[in-house]
Amino acid sequence: MLMLNNDLLNFNAVLIGIAQILILILIAPFVNSYINKIKSILRGQQGRPLFQGYKDIFKLIRKEVVLSEDASYISRFAPYIVFVSILVSACFLPVFSSNALLSFTGDIIALVYTIGLGTFFMALYGMDQASSFGGLGSSRDILIASLAEPTLMLVIFTFALQTRTTNISRIFIDIHKNGFLNYPVSYVLALMAFLIISVAENGRIPVDNPDTHLELTMVHEAMILEGSGRHLALFEYSSYLKLIIFITLASNIFLPIGVYGGIPHSLSSFSFLTILYAIAFYILKVLIFATPIAFIEISMAKLRFFRVPDFLMLGFVLSIISLVLYSI
């Protein structure tokens, strides 16, 4: 902890922290477009261009906001709270080096529950505008979120126990140093549990379809159905960022290779080239983890809503097994 505080005083560490946030913000729309592109290619279509995500955001930002007459002040500031909460939780996250911007003030549990704040305000936004779809989407989303959260915490505790800390930078450094295969069974089951909850939390296909606006099935889209203009842009951007946060967590926990551990020790010999190398490696890892999502989406049908708890229960049981196997 002392070392981290010293690092904080280091100007370079702060610079790296800011660079990490910028990288997350920059590649978030790209990853979403990348997943869509792979899905299109697998379907035999040409697909939208890879930079469509940025164009969508810019188009939406330029448009004006239309609010319902029944909307209260919540609708006016909820989009900002959602976006900022995702952004703050991104600040807790060490991306390609262990110098997270806010690592001195919060650990991995703070990260999870800061995202939870965003989920809460998005649900409020859905119910606020007196549209029947909004409330429907909110209730579904809260059900999914409340069932996915214990699994996420158990997966995190699995790795917190193995590395004996909840500080997210320390967890990542330890995993990168010791390798991930000290507990292979635990590792596989935690990976699968994390896959299940990432799909559930981000509203990807077996749980929710991000592409359709079919009233019977939509969850995330139902909540932001009334959103327009820059409010919608903020919601879209937060969902892109949420996906990239989950992918970053997965890629640093489950594929701990690369120059991650090397950077904090060589801060004195701060080299620009190392940083660039680390960033390139990080983006490669993100693409590796984004590809299976596209394959799952193309090969599975959306689950009936009342079967989603079964799906999440599978993730819960897998995470419990992976947690308990550590102590056996």
Quick one: 59 or 307, whose CB is closer to another protein? Answer: 307
CA distances for 196 relative to 57, 155, 220, angstroms = 28, 11, 17
Torsion 20-145-315-39 (CA) sign: negative
- Candidates 19, 142, 143, 321: give the one binding another protein (CB under 8 A): 321
User: Taking CB under 8 A as the rule, does residue 307 contact another protein?
Assistant: yes
Give the residue among 311, 279, 323 at the shortest CA–CA distance from 27. Answer: 279
Q: End-to-end CA distance of the chain: give it in Å, rounded.
A: 30
Torsion 223-227-231-233 (CA) sign: positive
Separation CA 160–CA 174 (nearest Å): 10
**Binding window for another protein (CB under 8 A); candidates: 32-40, 267-275, 289-297, 311-319:** 311-319
State CA 285 to chain mean position distance: 14
Total number of residues binding another protein (CB under 8 A)? 22
**Binding window for another protein (CB under 8 A); candidates: 61-69, 156-164, 208-216, 303-311:** 303-311
The distance of closest approach from Cβ of residue 134 to another protein in the complex, given in angstroms and rounded to an integer, is 29
- Candidates 181, 216, 272, 273: give the one binding another protein (CB under 8 A): 181
The distance of closest approach from Cβ of residue 119 to another protein in the complex, given in angstroms and rounded to an integer, is 24
**Binding window for another protein (CB under 8 A); candidates: 102-110, 145-153, 182-190, 236-244:** 182-190
Separation CA 126–CA 208 (nearest Å): 16
State CA 252 to chain mean position distance: 13
User: Taking CB under 8 A as the rule, does residue 328 contact another protein?
Assistant: yes
φ, ψ dihedrals at 166, nearest 5°: -105, 0
The distance of closest approach from Cβ of residue 264 to another protein in the complex, given in angstroms and rounded to an integer, is 19
User: Taking CB under 8 A as the rule, does residue 184 contact another protein?
Assistant: yes
- Candidates 22, 61, 185, 276: give the one binding another protein (CB under 8 A): 185
Quick one: 80 or 295, whose CB is closer to another protein? Answer: 295
- At 122, the amino acid letter reads M
Quick one: 153 or 189, whose CB is closer to another protein? Answer: 189
Separation CA 203–CA 246 (nearest Å): 12
**Is the CB of residue 186 less than 8 Å from the CB of residue 253?**
no
The distance of closest approach from Cβ of residue 214 to another protein in the complex, given in angstroms and rounded to an integer, is 22
Binding site for another protein (CB under 8 A): 179-181, 184-185, 187-189, 192, 307, 309-311, 313-314, 317-318, 320-321, 324-325, 328
